[in-house]
């Protein structure tokens, strides 16, 4: 009997320990506590699993947690642009330490929220902050950092690649609205890169770039059907390589190209890894390294070293993966040389920061 009581008592103690351990795990309800570091992410219109822009930013937040620079991480998906401010406020009112907002469209709402919540650090992905370059100190927002990338360089790289790999000398790009400067830089960089490759190889490549600027922000990045139809029209016109740059819209174009046996080129992330339906024909992706950029800024926010203004991330192009054997040694060497030239400044894209 004593042995039975001992076993029961031991089980009770173990249960209490396990319960206590569970209770000690931080939750969103603990975000007002100084010792609990919380990071919230608000997507642009679209889903956090868009296999591109929003997803990369969320993976950056998750990396911050894996690196022990965050205790609680959560996201809110924006369904309508009118909800930007409301969604940001949910994290602000809950006492989060860092709020990451994703996309050019959230820029105005993010700046307003940074003024409303001065004790919270804000990271705006693809949100260039113009105020550090004005003479009026009153314009400064001390708790807001824009994470920006040289999309024109990434577009330039895959444009050059597409031109060098094209057998028909016709290539295309299906993009979101050109009202968004990063999208504009991708598309125009793609054109410039193809022209540069033509100059190297004395070829002439027809480049078709179509922006989905005929709809509102609620549709431009979430229209895979339009993306697929546009890509098919390009391929009917001879395009044998298609670059998709515009969230789900671009994904529709990439998938259509892959299904047609053409070269597909992804955007933002290495979409060979995130878009399996297109992976067998994924030649490369125009990459901006959003994951490490977001994670680094969160780490800096936690240790107090983050600075307001603008933080410039890195861009590049993804490996050739399954199509590596189709890319000649000459093309690979040319791509490495172009990338080196862009990095050291000996090659410039000539693309303006935003559509003139």
pLDDT at 20 over 50: no
pLDDT at 60 over 70: yes
Tokens in use for 58? 């969320």
**Residue 289 phi, psi (nearest 5):** -80, 75
Q: Is the dihedral of CA 313, 75, 187, 154 positive or negative?
A: positive
Q: Tell me the pLDDT tens digit for each residue of 206-225.
A: 999 999 999 998 899 999 99
Cα-based torsion angle of the residue sequence 191, 192, 193, 195 in order, rounded to the nearest 10 degrees: 90
Task: Please state which CATH class domain 151-287+320-344 belongs to.
Answer: alpha beta
Tokens in use for 260? 């047609």
Q: How many whole angstroms separate alpha carbon 270 and alpha carbon 318?
A: 6
Q: Tell me the pLDDT tens digit for each residue of 67-82.
A: 999 999 999 999 999 9
pLDDT at 63 over 70: yes
Mean pLDDT of 173-192: 96
Domain extents for the chain?
30-148, 151-287+320-344
pLDDT at 149 over 70: yes
HEC profile for 289-312? CHHHHHHHHHHHHHHCCCCCEEEE
Indicate if 151-287+320-344 has the same CATH topology as 30-148.
Answer: yes
Q: Which helix (H) or strand (E) holds 146?
A: strand 144-148
pLDDT at 76: 97
**pLDDT tier for residue 45 given thresholds of 50, 70 and 90:** confident
Q: Tell me the pLDDT tens digit for each residue of 259-317.
A: 999 999 999 989 999 999 999 999 999 999 999 999 999 999 999 999 999 999 989 99
pLDDT at 3 over 70: no
pLDDT at 155 over 50: yes
Q: Which residue has the higher pLDDT, 109 or 21?
A: 109
Enumerate the H helices of the chain as residue ranges.
Answer: 2-24, 53-66, 84-93, 107-116, 151-165, 181-201, 217-220, 224-236, 247-259, 271-274, 290-303, 329-344
pLDDT at 326: 98
Note whether 143 and 122 are within 8 A (CB): yes
Mean pLDDT of 147-165: 97
Q: How many whole angstroms separate alpha carbon 147 and alpha carbon 41?
A: 14
pLDDT at 132: 55
Q: How far is CA 188 from CA 96, 269, 270, 315, 341, in A?
A: 38, 19, 20, 15, 18
Q: Which residue has the higher pLDDT, 81 or 205?
A: 205
pLDDT at 353: 86
The owner of tokens 């009581």 is 5
pLDDT at 12 over 60: no
What secondary structure letter does DSSP report for 327? S
30-148 architecture in CATH?
Answer: 3-Layer(aba) Sandwich (3.40)
- pTM over cut 0.85: no
Mean pLDDT of 9-37: 62
Tokens in use for 280? 């067998």
Longest dimension (CA), the chain: 94
Mean pLDDT of 51-79: 95
**pLDDT tier for residue 354 given thresholds of 50, 70 and 90:** confident
pLDDT at 136: 57
Rounded to the nearest integer, the mean pLDDT of the chain is 91
pLDDT at 22 over 50: no
Mean pLDDT of 17-34: 66
User: Residues of the chain with pLDDT > 90: what percent?
Assistant: 83
CA 136, 142, 147: angle at the middle one, nearest 5? 105
Closest CA to 191 of 231, 168, 232, 163: 163
pLDDT at 139 over 70: no
CA 60, 63, 66: angle at the middle one, nearest 5? 160
Tokens in use for 67? 């690196």
**pLDDT tier for residue 335 given thresholds of 50, 70 and 90:** very high
């Amino acid at each position: 009997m004593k042995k039975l009581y001992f076993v029961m008592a031991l089980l009770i103690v173990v249960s209490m320990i396990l319960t206590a351990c569970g209770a000690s795990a931080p939750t969103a309800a603990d975000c007002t506590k100084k010792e609990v570091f919380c990071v919230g992410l608000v997507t642009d219109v679209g889903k956090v699993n868009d296999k591109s822009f929003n997803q990369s930013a969320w993976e950056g937040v998750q990396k911050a947690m894996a690196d022990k620079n965050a205790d609680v991480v959560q996201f809110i998906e924006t369904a309508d642009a009118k909800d930007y401010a409301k969604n940001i406020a949910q994290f602000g009112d809950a006492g989060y330490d860092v709020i990451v907002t994703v996309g050019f469209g959230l820029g105005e709402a993010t700046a307003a929220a940074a003024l409303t919540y001065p004790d919270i650090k804000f990271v705006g992905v693809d949100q260039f902050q113009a105020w550090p370059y004005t003479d009026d100190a009153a314009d400064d927002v001390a708790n807001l950092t824009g994470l920006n990338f040289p999309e024109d360089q990434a577009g330039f790289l895959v444009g050059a690649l597409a031109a060098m790999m094209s057998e028909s000398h016709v290539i295309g790009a299906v993009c979101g609205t050109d009202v968004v400067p990063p999208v504009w830089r991708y598309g125009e960089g793609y054109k410039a890169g193809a022209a540069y490759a033509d100059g190297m190889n004395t070829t002439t490549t027809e480049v078709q770039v179509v922006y989905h600027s005929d709809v509102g922000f609620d549709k431009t990045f979430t229209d895979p059907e339009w993306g697929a139809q546009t890509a098919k029209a390009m391929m009917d016109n001879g395009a044998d390589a298609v670059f998709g740059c515009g969230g789900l819209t671009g994904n529709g174009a990439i998938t259509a190209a892959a299904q047609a046996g053409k070269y597909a080129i992804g955007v933002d992330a290495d979409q060979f890894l995130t878009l399996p339906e297109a992976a067998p024909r994924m030649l490369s992706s125009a990459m901006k390294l959003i994951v490490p950029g977001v994670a680094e800024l969160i780490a800096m926010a936690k240790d107090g070293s983050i600075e307001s203004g603008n933080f410039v991330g890195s861009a590049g192009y993804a490996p050739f993966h399954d199509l590596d054997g189709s890319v000649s040694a000459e093309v690979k060497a040319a791509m490495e040389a172009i990338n080196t030239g862009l990095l050291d400044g000996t090659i410039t894209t000539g693309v303006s920061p935003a559509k003139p």
